[in-house]
């Protein structure tokens, strides 16, 4: 007698914005967007308020989206702002046209990470099998948790929701379903601060009517191609023969799509994973030319290498594939990478190899973005750590574990 799998997907409501509202409760109920960063909204806000409790800053002193100039995008919008059509990943300038009166605040990564750790720790105390899906999302395996099956998981979901609110003052939405795929969709059913319970038998009535794009894994490209084939809802996909989907989308993607449309997904909740790569990238305030802006570009390039080396060292990793990424003014992306003999986390080594990569790519056109990446990571052991400092490994073997 094995228990039926019950998997929860938990999504913090407007996470970045909600974190700011804890600090500035006077902004509750107002359209607020978090993002940008290219313009120092922070400093604007601080003018004349440096020694004032954040909660006492008058609403009229907060910077408005209409005054924002720069290349940033929206990270999160509060629900009042969403009513104007403003949403995540939207360019700030476009958002400013839709809702100029919205208040704009920069992302406070420290604070967001602090609350991220807090809410995840709260969950883990109640249900230990938690899979990290970024700062504001997790999957939770309810199956073996005592009481995890009651009311299809609603009782446990409610308990977690309350615990998170008590500990952080933040709300979340939870979907509980037989698998991750359906749970992810279910968590969107009753936002914010909602709980949705979905069973396998509900797929036809609750999943099939949804747009294909709601499936986690169907993005803008696949959606457009589906539309060209006159498939719009998940039910439309489910109605197709598997072979037909394979013919149109390839063996792997077609097979997966068919399974997904039928609500089938046996991926486990993965509680631990190792990073594959670490990177740093930056979009310039204005497009740069490799020749004309050589010095500026070189300084930024070195900075990126230093940052990524710092990330590796701080987290205790070394890597052996070093690469660069460019974005040209027309948004086309070029990448180059090179795998070296020995693992490293050394900024100078990374800079040297990345510099070689840079020579292999077209540099005539104006650049919008530059990035540096280190992949093929391994944990920095004793020898690897020495290597990371710039010393050659004794005999090419590293104590990686």
Partner DNA sequence: TCTGGGGTCCTAGGACCC
- Residues whose CB falls within 8 Å of the CB of residue 298, separated by 6 or more in sequence, listed in order: none
HSE-CB of 198 using CA atoms within 13 angstroms: 30
Q: What is the pattern of x (binds DNA, CB under 7 A) and - over residues 226-265? A: ------------------------xxxx------------
In terms of CB distance, is 57 or 96 closer to DNA?
96
Write phi, then psi, for 175 (nearest 5 degrees). -115, 135
Instruction: Tell me the closest approach of the beta carbon of residue 91 to DNA, in angstroms.
Output: 3
The residue ranges of DSSP E strands in 5-73, in sequence order, are 7-12, 32-35
Which of 66, 67, 73 minimizes the C-alpha distance to 87?
Answer: 73
Q: Does residue 283 interact with DNA by CB under 7 A?
A: yes
| Residue 85 touches DNA, criterion: CB under 7 A | no
Looking at 192, 201, 275, 389, which residue binds DNA (CB under 7 A)?
A: 275
In 3D space, the residue among 266, 299, 272 whose CA is nearest the CA of residue 284 turns out to be 299
Provide, rounded to whole angstroms, the least separation between the CB of residue 133 and DNA.
5
Under rule CB under 7 A, residue 217 binds DNA: yes
* Site pattern 47..76 for DNA (x: CB under 7 A): -----------------------xxxx-x-
How many Å is the maximal CA-CA distance in the chain?
A: 71
220 contributes a contact to DNA by CB under 7 A: yes
Tokens of 357: 């990569």
Cα(248)–Cα(246) distance, rounded to whole angstroms?
5
From 40, 94, 114, 394, residue interacting with DNA (rule: CB under 7 A): 94
- Select from 106, 263, 319, 323 the one that contacts DNA (CB under 7 A): 323
Which DSSP string corresponds to 163-188?
HHHHHHS--EEEEEESSHHHHHHHTT
Residue among 11, 5, 63, 4 nearest 37 (CA): 63
C-beta of residue 161 within 8 angstroms of C-beta of residue 123: no
- Tell whether residue 6 is a contact of DNA (CB under 7 A): no
Catalytic residue among 4, 110, 131, 137: 137
Give the one residue of 30, 64, 159, 222 binding DNA; rule: CB under 7 A.
222
Active site residue 137: yes
Catalytic residue numbers? 137
Chain contacts with DNA (rule: CB under 7 A): 70-73, 75, 88-89, 91-94, 133-137, 184, 215-223, 250-253, 275-283, 311, 321, 323, 331-339, 357, 360, 368-369, 371, 376
């Amino acid at each position: 007698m094995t228990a039926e799998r019950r998997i929860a997907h938990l999504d913090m409501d407007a996470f970045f914005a909600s974190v700011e509202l804890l600090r500035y409760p006077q902004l509750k109920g107002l359209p607020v967007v978090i993002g940008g960063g290219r313009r120092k909204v922070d400093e604007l806000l601080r003018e004349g308020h440096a020694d004032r409790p954040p909660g006492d800053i008058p609403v009229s002193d907060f910077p408005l989206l209409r005054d924002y100039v720069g290349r940033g995008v929206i990270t999160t919008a509060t629900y009042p702002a969403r009513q104007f059509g403003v949403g995540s990943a939207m360019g700030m300038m476009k958002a400013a046209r839709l809702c100029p009166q919205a208040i704009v605040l920069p992302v406070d990564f420290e604070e967001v990470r602090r609350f991220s750790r807090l809410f995840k720790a709260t969950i883990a105390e109640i249900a230990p099998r938690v899979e990290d899906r970024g700062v504001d999302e997790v999957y939770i395996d309810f199956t073996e948790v005592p009481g995890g099956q009651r009311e299809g998981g609603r009782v446990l979901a409610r308990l977690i929701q309350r615990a998170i609110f008590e500990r952080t003052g933040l709300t979340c939405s939870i979907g509980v379903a037989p698998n991750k795929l359906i749970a992810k969709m279910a968590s969107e059913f009753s936002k914010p601060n909602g709980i949705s319970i979905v069973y396998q038998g509900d797929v036809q009535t609750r999943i099939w009517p949804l747009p294909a794009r709601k499936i986690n894994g169907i993005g803008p490209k696949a959606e457009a191609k589906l539309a060209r084939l006159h498939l719009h809802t998940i039910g439309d996909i489910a109605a197709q023969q598997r072979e037909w989907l394979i013919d149109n989308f390839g063996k792997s993607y077609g097979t997966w799509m068919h399974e997904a449309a039928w609500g089938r997904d046996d991926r486990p909740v993965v509680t631990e994973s190792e990073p594959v790569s670490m990177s740093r990238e930056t979009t310039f305030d204005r497009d740069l030319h490799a020749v004309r802006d050589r010095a500026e570009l070189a300084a930024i390039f070195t900075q990126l290498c230093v940052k990524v080396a710092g990330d590796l060292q701080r987290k205790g990793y070394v890597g052996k594939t070093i690469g660069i990424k460019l974005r040209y003014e027309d948004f086309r992306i070029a990448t180059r990478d090179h795998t070296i003999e020995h693992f490293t986390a050394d900024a100078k080594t990374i800079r040297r190899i990345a510099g070689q990569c840079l020579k292999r790519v077209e540099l005539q056109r104006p650049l919008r973005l530059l990035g540096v990446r280190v992949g093929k990571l391994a944990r920095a052991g004793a020898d690897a750590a020495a290597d990371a400092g710039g010393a050659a490994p004794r005999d090419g073997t590293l104590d990686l574990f």
